[in-house]
Amino acid sequence: MTDVSRGTTDVLVIGAGAIGALYGGMLARAGAAVSVVCRSDHAAVESGGFDVRSPWGDFVFRPVRVLRSPAECTRPPDYVLLAVKVVRGLDRVALLRNAVGPDTVIVVFGNGIGIEQEIADAFPDHELISALAFVAVSRVGEATIQHHALGRLEMGNFPRGVSARTQQLAALFQAAGVPCDTKAEVLASRWLKNLWNIAFNPISVLGGGLDTRAILAPAEGIDFVRRVMLEAATVAAAHGYPIETGVIDEAIASTRAMKPYKTSMALDHEHGRPMEVEPILGNVVRLARLRGVAVPSLEALYGLLRMVQDRVEVD
């Protein structure tokens, strides 16, 4: 629990990439004691912290501790923010094993559908928060984070509800100036957020690194994005999470109004990193098959993306 003598909330961020560094840094600005697990940029972060460039104001985020592994965590935190991507070959449960104590709340940041159950099954006695970041943010250099636009958070307990600990974490984000809403039905929010990811992420990769402006430049691009989103919304409705079609037009309009933005999946592909194919796209396709929902555009995107992913992994 919170150490009253220090007057801070102890937070550990596992996965200090763009998301982890931005939101970990904002919690630090609110007065939390934030440590990070950081491997690739460990030396740079340990010496100078993260250089965060943001519409919320540029700042340097200096973690309390910079760890190479969760196993180096000697004091269980109040909250552990798991901000790693859900990709093949990464054992998220193993990352958490040495980092949680009896009262640690696990907060899962990540894209896609169905990413919480594995953690809930492994830690049934721990409170689990599902968190969604509606943000355009990238790692643009060593220990350097560029927050391009947006930044709103939504969070709630998995599978539903909003606890006092969830409200406490949301209040910390709000104190730092981060728009943060709590949602009793957070899985509905997850389906809603995945509408954007399920369209723009695969298309950006399969189009050879297209940014959002290039995807939406031709009328055919807009029509295809809308068709993909409509199929995903149909799957969501079949699982009890209906989405109004007007939301799709709003998502497309807001994306056209943004500065051109290359998706995280496109950046991962360009740098030879694993892509979040299964949580964003594969899980939705499998749920569609389970319910007998026809999703030809999603099936095509998934098949093509698997080809690209497997070729990269073989190479």
pLDDT of amino acid 312: 65
Location of structure tokens 């919690």 = 27
Q: Model confidence over 95-126: pLDDT tens digits?
A: 999 899 999 999 999 999 999 999 999 999 99
In terms of domains, do 102 and 250 share one?
A: no
- On whether both 169 and 227 belong to a single domain, the answer is no
Half-sphere exposure of 43 (CA within 13 A, CB side): 0
Q: What is the CA radius of gyration of the chain?
A: 19
Shared-domain flag, residues 18 and 164: yes
- Per the structure, the count of domains in the chain is 2
> Could you tell me the two tokens for 294?
């026809």
pLDDT exceeds cutoff 60 at 5:
no
Mean pLDDT across the stretch 178-195?
A: 97
Determine the Cα–Cα distance for residues 183 and 158; give it in Å rounded to an integer.
Answer: 10
Query: Is 266 within a domain?
Result: yes
**Is residue 5 domain-resident?**
no
Has residue 205 been placed in a domain?
yes
pLDDT in tens, 19-48: 999 999 999 999 999 999 998 899 999 999
Least confident range of 15-19, 32-36, 194-198, 309-313: 309-313
| Residue after which a domain boundary falls, among 184, 213, 247 | 184
Torsion of CA 136, 141, 145, 147, to 10 degrees: -30
Please check whether residues 69 and 214 belong to one and the same domain. no
Which pLDDT belongs to residue 259?
A: 86
Using CB atoms within 10 A of its CB, is residue 91 exposed (0-12), middle (13-18) or buried (19+)? exposed
Q: Count of CB atoms within 10 A of residue 94's CB? A: 11
Question: Does residue 1 lie in a domain region?
Answer: no
Strand boundaries in 142-213, DSSP class E: 144-157, 180-182
Shared domain check, 196 and 175: no
**What is the reported pLDDT for 136?**
85
Task: Answer yes or no: is 2 within a domain.
Answer: no
Token representation of residue 250: 């709003």
Residue 238 forms part of a structural domain: yes
Task: For residue 273, tell me if it sits in a domain.
Answer: yes
The CA distances from residue 143 to 21, 22, 40, 147, in Å, are 9, 11, 9, 13
Tell me: do 76 and 102 sit in the same domain. yes
Residue 9 has pLDDT above 90, yes or no: yes
pLDDT at residue 89 is higher than 90: no
Q: How far apart are CA 51 and CA 38, in angstroms?
A: 14
Read off the CATH number of the domain in which 246 is found.
1.10.1040.10
Task: Over range 64-93, report the average pLDDT.
Answer: 93
- Please state at what angle helix 219-238 crosses helix 186-206, rounded to 10 degrees: 150
205-247: pLDDT as tens digits: 999 999 999 999 999 999 999 999 999 999 999 999 999 999 9
* Same domain (yes/no): 131, 195: no
Residues 170 and 227 in one domain: no
pTM: 0.90
Q: Is the dihedral of CA 188, 172, 146, 77 positive or negative?
A: negative
Tell me the mean pLDDT in the region 64-83: 94
Same domain for 122 and 222?
Answer: no
Residue 26 shares a structural domain with residue 172: yes
Instruction: Name the nearest CA neighbour of 113 among 1, 205, 203, 240.
Output: 240
pLDDT band at 310 (very low <50, low <70, confident <90, very high): confident
Q: What is the CATH number of the domain that holds 25?
A: 3.40.50.720
For all residues of the chain together, what is the average pLDDT?
Answer: 93
Cβ-count burial 67-79 (b if 16+ within 10 Å, e if not) = beebeebeebbbb
One domain, residues 130 and 46 = yes
Domain final residue pick, 154, 184, 214 = 184
The dihedral region occupied by 222, where left means phi > 0, alpha psi between -120 and 50, and beta the remainder, is alpha
- Is the pLDDT at 183 greater than 90? The verdict is yes
Same structural domain for residues 65 and 160? yes
Q: What band does 294 get if pLDDT is binned at 50, 70 and 90? A: very high
What is the rounded distance in angstroms from the CA atom of residue 251 to the CA atom of residue 144? 28
**Which range has the top average pLDDT, 39-53, 245-259, 284-298?**
284-298
* Structural domain of 211: 188-314
List the structure tokens of 221: 């691009």
Last residue of a domain, one of 124, 152, 184: 184
DSSP state of 197: H
Q: Is residue 97 part of a domain?
A: yes
How many whole angstroms from its chain centre is CA 206?
21
Residues paired with 13 in a beta bridge: 36, 81
Judge contact between 52 and 145, C-beta under 8 A. yes
